Every structure is written in C-alpha cells, then in structure tokens.
Amino acid sequence: MKKIIVAGAGHGGLSAAAILAQKGFDVTVYEKQTRDTIGHDWHDAMDIPAFKFADIPVPPEELFKRGLHMCYMNPKKTVKLVMDGGPGVAQSDCISIDRKILINYLIDHCLSQGVKFVFGVEIISVLTENGTVTGIKISDNGEEKCITGDMVIDAAGMTSPVRRSLPEELGIEKEIPEEDTFEIYRAYYENTEKFITDPNYTVFFYNCGKPGIDWVITEEDHIDVLIGKFGRISDEEIESSLKDIRENYPGMGEKPIRGGNTARIPLTKMLPLLVSDRYALVGDSAGMTVPLNGSGIDLSLQAGKLLACAVEAASKNGFGKEELWQYQYRYYTLFGKNLVAISVFRRFLGAVTEDDINFFLEKGLLSEKEIGMAGGISGITPAYVIQKLIAALPKAKLLPELLKTVKNMPLLPVVNSTMPSVWDERQVSKWVSLYKEL
Ligand SMILES: Cc1cc2nc3c(=O)[nH]c(=O)nc-3n(C[C@H](O)[C@H](O)[C@H](O)COP(=O)(O)OP(=O)(O)OC[C@H]3O[C@@H](n4cnc5c(N)ncnc54)[C@H](O)[C@@H]3O)c2cc1C
C-alpha cells in the first residue's frame, strides 16, 4: 500500500487525505495541535459548492448558518457598498461556520474514510535523499523521529516548516514576502446593548489609517471584531482600531469573550511551483488565498480534490512531478489564474493612502462590482485593472505606484496561454520565470 504523509491538518490536506484513503492509500496526517485544541476560536465564511466540488458531504444544517449580508465602508465612513452572496454563489449557499466545528467535521470525515492521525507532534523539517523528498522529521514529546513515505502533501500553512526546509534545487519558493501577508487580530466582545447594524457585517477599509481591513459583525449576544493589516500589526494599531470601533458600536464589552489573539495569512498569488517529485503544496502553504480578502478555505478544499486525483495518477509512476504537475495545471487554470490580477490590485492597495481609498469609493472607482469580483475568483482581467487604475489618475501622486503595479500586467495573458499542460522541464521552468515577473 502506498504511504502518503500529510504534513499539518490544513483544509486542503484533509480534503486530499479523505479521497486518497478512500481509494486505498495508506494516509497519515501529522498535526502539532491536539484533537481538543485544533482550530481557531472564531467562525469563517465559506460556501456550500466547495464541499460538493471536494466530494465532502455537506455538513448538517445545524452546524452552520446560511446567508451573508454585508457591506464595505471607506475610512471616512461616508460610502457604504452593500453586498449579498458571493460571485457566482447564491446568498443562501454562503455560510458561516465555526472553525473548530469545521475542522473537526473534516477530521471525522477523514477518519470515516480510513485516514490516520498523529496529533500533538511538531514537524521540524522535510527529509530528502539525493534531492528528492522522502518524508518529514518530527518531534514527538521532545524525541526526534524520521517518518518516511512515498509522497508528502504539505498542508502545514503559510509558515510550513516542510516548504521552508526544502533543498534549493527543487526550485520551490520557501518564503512568502512579508508585504504579501496579512496579520489579523480577532476577538468576540459582549454586545451589552444588543446593538445590531444593517447589514450586520461591516468591512472597513484602512480603519485608522494603515493599509488593511477591519470588520465588525454584530450578533445578539456578541460583537465579532477582526483587525487586519497588510504586513505586520502592532499592539498600538490594535488598540487604536478597537477604540474607533468602540466609539461606533455602543455597548461593546471591554474584554474579549472569545479569541483575542493574532494570526497570519498569505495575501498573494499562488506560489510559482507547487510540485516536485513525491511532494506537493496545498492551501496557505501554497499561497492559496483570495489575495484581497484572505478567504482560503474554499480554494484549499477544492485544490485538495485536484491534488488527490493527480496523486492517484502519479502513484503508478513513483509520484513523479511529471504527473503531479497535472494538479498545478488544473488548479491554475480553474482558480489560480483568476487571482493573479487581484493580487496585483492588492499590492497597489497596499501602497495607497487612506485619502486615496476615500477618493476611490467616493468617485465610484471602487464599487460593489469590483469588490464582488475581487472577493471571488472571476471577472478581473488585466484590461479591467488597467482601466480602473487609469481612472485613478487624477490622484497624480499615485502615478509612480500605478506604473509600478501595472508594468507587468500585459504579461498575464501570455503567462496564461503558455502554461504547459504536460510537464516539460524546460517549458515549465520558462513558465515559472515568466509567472514570477507578474
Ligand atoms: C483571522 C482569520 C480569519 C479567516 N477567515 C477566513 C474566512 O472567513 N474564510 C476563509 O475561507 N478563510 C479564512 N481565513 C483563511 C484561512 O484560515 C486559510 O486560508 C485556510 O485555513 C487555509 O489554510 P490551510 O488549511 O492551508 O492551513 P492552516 O489553516 O494554516 O492549517 C495548517 C495546519 O498545519 C498545522 N501545522 C503548522 N505547522 C506545523 C508543524 N510545524 N507541525 C505540525 N503541524 C503544523 C497547524 O496547526 C494547522 O492545523 C482566515 C484566516 C485568519 C487568520
């Protein structure tokens, strides 16, 4: 029986693990959290079609809440863009689900398919032999152990120790640049006055000046606060956003009743190369989030299904990158390519000021249409981004940033049309170099 190691119980790894175990592979997930502590203390927005795509039964209705009624606001809080549902997804199929419930549901599904779990072990690094991945090194109660297998699926998140310790010659990027990451404070506070806004979910651009987004969701019994900044967030920034939110949300409690910690996610386009012999990246460890808003669960679950199909095909031939490339090719053509322009746009947003954002929203340059497209995975083309950015030209001081941002956008159609559909060392390396320029 072929032995598959899944490093980290990330969503994409679990999605792939269930399918592979069901197909008869010997699959084990190694996870540093325990079964009791796994998952975060908050809920996430995702959608029902992602489960269906990934061959995961839709969770029972009592585990989640349907519907999404939200709005976006400029820093001055003068313009409100109301959104319902997601791009191509009916509002009733947009759900919110507690992270701990979701991850435990996925683990239960994996167990029902025959996946094994080793909880409470820290992965230290990858294991390689002659430059090929052969397994992982873990620390189990302080004792180092080498775990070998036929293939490693890296689902250990943005700072995966597996990806970071890969040999250079595999050509896989080890670090995600700090400016392409998002650091987030998340906490629930008491809603002592049962204050509910309409919509109840508001996303504020550049709250208190620094590039990023804050959101506030009012529920009968709590106020859910997220404060996120591009790059790193400081305690002072958290305090200043909390102060501003408190002023606008009467009755918000002083101390968090849930959460109150920070976490990081990548806000970038997919990494240029996701596969090597006997190794593949999935989820945040592959940079699979929506670059503007950081949603990554749907993408990870769906990528896991594509990965499982490629791993099954590759098993006949020693899990070679030639077959695993099919995973990257299918993921990019179905999802990844639509997110590249958004990541360029996101970089531009990271360089503009609070005043610029007020200008974009007040002049309608950033409207429901763009937000809808950027929150999802379709519709933003290079031509569209260029047209929008040119419309921003009256803010002449933006010109240098604008030019820097759009400089390589015309390359995108070339990158999309030249991605090799089958592995060819020279063609792939040419494609990877071109993709890196975007
Ligand atoms: C505050 C916040 C809110 C978010 N909200 C949403 C949302 O509403 N909707 C949405 O779609 N996405 C959301 N995201 C993004 C989402 O969390 C990720 O995109 C998604 O989890 C995909 O990541 P992953 O599953 O690949 O990895 P992760 O969720 O990061 O999982 C990686 C796993 O690997 C384990 N691990 C890491 N290192 C080691 C190690 N050394 N040894 C062993 N195990 C290890 C971790 O414990 C973890 O279980 C949010 C993220 C944050 C931070």
What is the DSSP secondary-structure string of 348-410?
HHHHS-HHHHHHHHHTTSS-HHHHHHHHTTSS--HHHHHHHHHHTTTSGGGHHHHHHHHTTTT
Q: Distances in Å between the alpha carbon of 226 and those of 85, 252, 259?
A: 20, 14, 10
What is the predicted pLDDT for the residue at 103? 98
C-beta 285 within 6 A of ligand 1: yes
Q: How far is the CA of 346 from the centre of ligand 1 (A)?
A: 20
C-alpha gyration radius of the chain:
22
What is the DSSP secondary structure assignment for residue 270, as one 8-state letter?
Answer: P
* Residues pairing with 70 in the sheet: 83, 201
Ligand 1 atom nearest the C-alpha of 265 is 53
> Is 328 touching ligand 1 by the criterion CB < 6 Å?
no
Instruction: Please tell me if the CB atom of residue 133 comes closer than 6 angstroms to any atom of ligand 1.
Output: no
Task: Determine if residue 212 is left, alpha or beta; phi over 0 gives left, psi from -120 to 50 gives alpha, anything else beta.
Answer: left
Identify the CA nearest to 201 among candidates 70, 68, 294.
70
Instruction: Measure the CA–CA gap between 335 and 328, rounded to whole angstroms.
Output: 10
CA of 368 from ligand 1 middle (Å) equals 28
Could you tell me if the CB of 300 is within 6 A of ligand 1?
yes
CA–centroid distance, residue 15 to ligand 1 (Å): 14
Which pair of tokens denotes residue 85?
């549902």
Mutate to test the pocket of ligand 1, among 160, 300, 301 (most ligand atoms within 8 A of CB): 300
Architecture of the structural domain at 3-64+94-176+268-336 = 3-Layer(bba) Sandwich (3.50)
Closest-lying ligand 1 atom to the alpha carbon of residue 155: 26
Please say whether the beta carbons of 152 and 135 come within 8 A.
yes
Whether 405 and 291 have beta carbons less than 8 Å apart is answered as: no
Q: Which CATH number is correct for 179-266, 2.60.40, 3.30.70, 1.10.1670, 3.10.590?
A: 3.30.70
> How many angstroms is it from 37 CA to the middle of ligand 1?
14
Cis geometry, peptide bond prior to residue 199 (ω within 30 degrees of 0): yes
* Structural tokens at position 330: 């299918």
Closest CA to 292 of 50, 69, 72, 14: 72
C-beta atoms surrounding 269 within 10 Å? 24
Domain range list for the chain: 3-64+94-176+268-336, 179-266, 340-417
Q: Are 8 and 18 in contact (CB under 8 A)?
A: no
Helix or strand or coil: residue 433? helix
Distance from the alpha carbon of residue 99 to the mean position of ligand 1, in angstroms: 10
pLDDT at 84: 64
Question: Residues 167, 131: contact at Cβ < 8 Å?
Answer: yes
For the CA of 43, the closest atom of ligand 1 is 8
In the three-class reduction of DSSP (H, G, I as helix; E, B as strand; rest coil), residue 186 is classed as strand
Run of H or E residues at 263: strand 252-266
231: left (phi over 0), alpha (psi -120 to 50) or beta: left
Q: Does 107 sit in the ligand 1 pocket, CB within 6 Å? A: no
What does each of the 438 residues of the chain score in pLDDT, given as a tens digit?
999 999 999 999 999 999 999 999 999 999 999 999 999 989 998 999 999 999 999 999 999 999 877 888 888 889 988 876 555 677 788 899 999 999 999 999 999 999 999 999 999 999 999 999 999 999 999 999 999 999 999 999 999 999 999 999 999 999 999 989 999 999 999 999 999 999 898 989 887 777 888 999 999 999 999 999 989 999 999 999 999 999 999 999 999 999 999 999 999 999 999 999 999 999 999 999 988 778 899 999 999 999 999 999 999 999 999 999 999 999 999 999 988 888 887 887 777 888 888 888 888 877 777 666 655 444 455 555 556 656 665 665 666 766 677 677 788 889 999 999 999 999 999 999 999 998
| DSSP sequence for 162-185 | HHHTS-GGG-------GGGEEEEE
